[in-house]
A and B are shown apart, each in its own frame.
Chain A
Amino acid sequence: MAPLPLRELQSRLRALIVDPAALASSPDALASELAALSIRGDARLSAVERVRVYATMYALRLRDALAHDYLALRRALGDAAFTDLARSYVASHPSDRPSLRDLGRHLPAFARRHPELLEPWQAELAQLEWAMVDAFDGPDQPVLSAAHLEALPPDAWPELRLEPVGSLVLLSCASPVDALREQLLAGQDVSDVAREPVRLRVWRQEMAVFHRRMDSTEAAALCRIAAGTTFAELCEWLSEHADTENAAAEALRLLGRWIDDGLLVAPQN
């Protein structure tokens, strides 16, 4: 039998490695395929067992990579269910990037599409965990400081446009997934999850990743900032919607908090 061209050899060997059913096909069909691939067995290991080494490692490696990024979700599901989730997810979203760091990027959306695999709060937990992964090694940016604002001429304030750092992610969840995550990571069981809407922001400040709850005013204000609203427009919106008599003071209070947390990008000179 003539050896297969390299591309065909690799495509067919990949099929055996990534599909658990492929190595469970009929012995005759499998033997014929392994002969076509010219894979040799010996007294130590048969050809099937040799391919199975790679198939086993493939499943374990990708599951472990997902478990690294979704540690709380793994605790919530337990090892067996998480392994099933990983298998389904990887079959649906095989890796197409050089780094395993990117493998889990579609999992929150996958979780929402598969309620038979994950409860809604678990899908929200996945969303929080992935936002933290993304924030961890996102681009470094100089952040806005109080000194920047103090140097701003008074007439520049109304048209001031503030820019959130690239790592900032705003989440609106139906369950308190931040608290649930802490419980799971502390080794506590989580059951009977209550519906308790929370708004969260996830971001990185220097080298550390944080998440924090927001009230509805702060969440809406940050959304507006991210959309490019000016400081004057923000004050106007606060005067109409926030529970405050002094919109400018409320805007400055929010601004101070965001500066303390390193949420805003410094102006470019």
Chain B
Amino acid sequence: MTTHPDLGFGIGLRTGHYDAILEHGTRADWFEAISENFMVGGGLPLHVLERVRNDHPLVLHGVSLSIGGSDPLDPGYLRELRLLADRFAPAWVSDHLCWTGVDAHNLHDLLPLPWTEELLAHLIPRITQVQDALGRRLVLENVSTYLSFEHSAMPEWEFLAELTRRADCDLLLDVNNVYVSAVNHGFDARAFVAGIPAERVAQIHLAGHTDHGTHLLDTHDAPVADAVWDLYRHTLGRLGRVATLIEWDGDVPPLEDVENEALRARAIADQVIPVPGTQPVDGATAAA
């Protein structure tokens, strides 16, 4: 079981929801903010983040750390991230187990890595550097992938177990990404969930994807798919209650719709792991 604080059921903080959140508040328990969007001088983004942070737990979630990249880590980026973290006191700071660019060219994508001993040896000192720079443990997320490398020496979940043990970092388990990659590469999503170290999982992500027939694409522009809800239910059965967050980045609907996805996650969690003294809410039935 995870030893991280259970923040409840949150949503990603997105520009299109700023007005609604400032005016009406939210039914979500907590927020996740994309770190890079708030590495700015001032204006509305930081104003909104301050307001949100006054009332809710917050997690900072980066997209450009490039922990698996082969360029040196950017010390200026780490300094800015540390300043942001010191100012807003997030529950934790996360990014992705991937590379985002090389030769000083940022592709702004979460690119796949080969699961090798060479990569482990490459990642461990980089994670240590980040954790030292931030003064806190780093949380890394599994990404959706569309290609894999023949020289990978182990499945991704074994790599994650080894990495978290040797680098002393934590995991953000993106259940949608597990499902998308499992379909795209033909592995068993439940084997992935069974193989990761439960005590390292700080957080879960849920999001929608798009079925292109030949492959699934992690688009974050739709409700969570039924198969992903099923995998989430299974995951909670193994991990227990874990802070869960809904991501929605494309064709972003009204705040209420994203909140409803978070409430559906709560209903499933209440059904799988009832909170003592409470009754599961009706939404659990709909989500089954």
Q: Which stretch from B85-93, B109-117, B227-235 is at the chain A interface? A: B109-117
Number of interface residues of B (CB under 8 A): 43
Contact of A95 among B41, B108, B114, B147 (CB under 8 A): B108
Is A227 close to B, CB under 8 A?
A: no
Complex contact B214–A101 (CB within 8 A):
no
Interface string of B12-46 (1 = CB under 8 A from A): 00000000000000000000000011011111111
Bound together, the chains give a CA A11 to CA B118 distance in angstroms of 17
Binding site for B on A (CB under 8 A): 3, 5-7, 9-11, 13-14, 17-18, 37-40, 42, 44-45, 47, 49-51, 53-54, 57-58, 61-62, 65, 94-101, 103, 135-141, 166, 204, 207
Residue B70 CB within 8 A of the other chain: yes
Question: Can you report 8 residue pairs joining A to B where beta carbons are below 8 Å apart?
Answer: A3-B116, A10-B69, A45-B184, A96-B106, A97-B106, A99-B36, A103-B108, A138-B43
Answer yes or no: B287 CB below 8 A from chain A CBs: no
Return B148 CB to nearest CB of chain A, in Å.
Answer: 6
A3 to B36, CA, bound (A): 33
Chain A residue contacts of B114, Cβ below 8 A: 3, 6, 9, 38
- Which residue of A40, A136, A139, A166 contacts B147 across the interface (Cβ within 8 Å)? A40
The answer to whether the Cβ of B55 comes within 8 Å of any Cβ in the partner chain is no
For residue B271, CB closer than 8 A to chain A, the reply is no
B118 and A54 contact, CB distance less than 8 A? no
Contact B147 A47 (CB under 8 A): yes
Query: Is B119 among interface residues, defined by CB-CB distance under 8 A?
Result: yes
The 8 A CB mask of B195-209 against A (1 = contact, 0 = none) is: 000000000000000
Q: Which residues of B from 133 to 192 have beta carbons under 8 Å from A?
A: 146-151, 184, 186
B288 within 8 A of A: no
Q: B43 to A99, Cβ gap below 8 A?
A: no
CA gap between A96 and B102 in the complex, in Å: 10
Are B106's CB and A140's CB within 8 A?
A: no
A200 to chain B, nearest CB (A): 20
